[in-house]
Chain A
């Protein structure tokens, strides 16, 4: 199966809008949302089946037994994450949000007062209907999102159509986990100074993983100057530009009404169809090679 991951660097550039349209246009029957911090693809794909949900154990958390704790403070001393604080009665407690589950405190405690317990740090969801949709939600304030991203990808099944994966913003842990092993990345940027700046950072990230990527510009008419600069950047770096989407007020309306842009004839939809056509051509060319 060929997989295409949609990324942007900057949030709000239009990843989910483009990904949901491409799922329709490619007739993709296996797809995923790996933006585990703020997943939204389900709001637009609107799966008709109930998901199979499973708890996700991301890391362990330290728990201190106050009966056994003598308040020596050794644990707080070695904790690199400032996750252990003194209580008012001179004992120690763990801040579950700061604890990364390294178990160093358990290692140094001579009074056997610290136990590491499994922590539910999120939930994976699999929708199995005519389509197969893998997604997840990280619990508030939890880290280790990269591991959950990997789980969402592992939950995918083989497919004879292209697998579209809706990614997360940024360039850090979840993004790195999402790029690993995918065949292609589509970068959705926008014609703003922020969009362009962030695109360059995510492009470098793709390059560091040697993952081929192409670029489309959303809201390309906000600043035609910056659109020109993005195109110039792509030309200079041998990056394929697969299309420009105009600013289109109807997009927000469609999304609020739960309508997939691919099912409409608004200007943005026509532009995305052209992007689909261009990506399809690239994939076919690669297949021949």
Chain B
């Protein structure tokens, strides 16, 4: 076995549901939550012995005693993160991409860099599963470095729970996985967003399959694709999830579905 990325496009279709259940039925698995803006896997896995690693980026520091006001840094910055106000270079923190360009271009060596914390990675243990959570600090804009840091904990059997959408964060999250599971639900919204994620995994040449969650017949929404599993809508599962339980732990039928899903995915990876 190797690593599986779980993605969906639309939020709330069941990425975390599939991820934590899958991680729970696999021995010695690693669960990595890359939905760093709103990571929820830990609410279900409830990890213990948590170690925390801070994630930092480089932030420019301007020494105004050395600055001669040439404004080369201001005009170089592609992100408009520097402004020249009151004869001083001013940094607009939230716009800075930490590219380091301003410190290179400054002829006075007036710009240095310091580490700035943007979030953290928490590593804990939940039964047989290692639980890794990337967390973006509130009011920080971009967190790709947190995703990269979280992915350093990938092991033999890894489940990567991705953010919604199909942006650069999702791309980073699945960059190292061997296989992708697209979690969908039979709704117009989900179908529309599924097409977007399908384009993403196809572009990255990742093998993938589809899990239809909250499955119902005759909705008129057809996923004409490689269907790995269908999970019926079940109010009892919804209730278990709402209070943070992992349903495969006490639902034999669902456990069977996930065991089959897992062996299907293993076969697909082996054949690839």
A residues near B (Cβ < 8 Å) are 9-13, 16, 37-38, 40, 43, 59-60, 78, 80-81, 97-98, 100-104, 107-108, 138, 140-143, 145-146, 168-173, 175-176, 191-194, 197-198, 201, 204-205, 208-209, 222-223, 225-226, 252-253, 255-256, 258
Contact = CB atoms under 8 A, between A and B. Distances in A.
A79 to B, nearest CB: 8
Interface in B128-164: 136, 138-144, 163-164
A50 B202 CA distance: 29
Complex A-B, nearest 5 residue pairs according to Cβ-Cβ distance, in ascending order: A11-B11, A12-B12, A37-B165, A102-B99, A170-B37
Contacts of A225: 243
A56 B142 CA distance: 20
Contacts of A205: 138-139
Contacts of B43: 193-194, 197
Contacts of B98: 80
A226 B241 CA distance: 12
B68 interface: no
Contact of A104 (B99, B140, B165, B167): B99
B16 A141 contact: no
Given A140-B196, A222-B242, A225-B243, A10 B79 contact: no
* Interface class of chain B by DSSP: loop
A10 B11 contact: yes
A201 B101 CA distance: 33
Nearest to A173: B141
B104 A107 contact: yes
B242 A142 contact: no
Given A43-B188, A171-B37, A100 B10 contact: no
B38 A169 contact: yes
A226 B99 CA distance: 43
Q: How large is the interface on B (under 10, 10 to 19, 20 to 34, 35 or more residues)?
A: 35 or more
B3 interface: no
B76 to A, nearest CB: 7
Contact of B136 (A10, A138, A171, A258): A171
Given A16-B189, A43-B192, A104 B38 contact: no
Contacts of B193: 38, 40
A142 B168 contact: yes
A176 B94 contact: yes
Contacts of B186: 256
Contact of B141 (A102, A176, A209): A176
B116 to A, nearest CB: 13
A102 B79 CA distance: 8
Contacts of B243: 192-193, 223, 225-226
A104 B101 contact: yes
Interface in B92-118: 94, 97-101, 104-105
Given A38-B196, A223-B239, A255-B188, A170 B163 contact: yes
A101 B78 contact: yes
A142 B167 contact: yes
A256 B76 contact: no
B268 interface: no
Contacts of A107: 76, 101, 104-105
A11 B164 CA distance: 7
A171 B38 contact: yes
A107 B239 CA distance: 56
A38 B10 CA distance: 6
B13 A12 contact: yes
Contacts of B203: 140-141
B38 A143 contact: no
A16 B143 CA distance: 25
Nearest to A42: B192
Contacts of A37: 164-167
A176 B139 CA distance: 7
Interface in B193-222: 193, 196, 199-200, 203, 219-221
Given A102-B99, A102-B101, A176-B94, 9 more contacts: A11-B38, A80-B100, A98-B168, A141-B166, A170-B37, A175-B37, A193-B244, A201-B138, A222-B238
B69 to A, nearest CB: 20
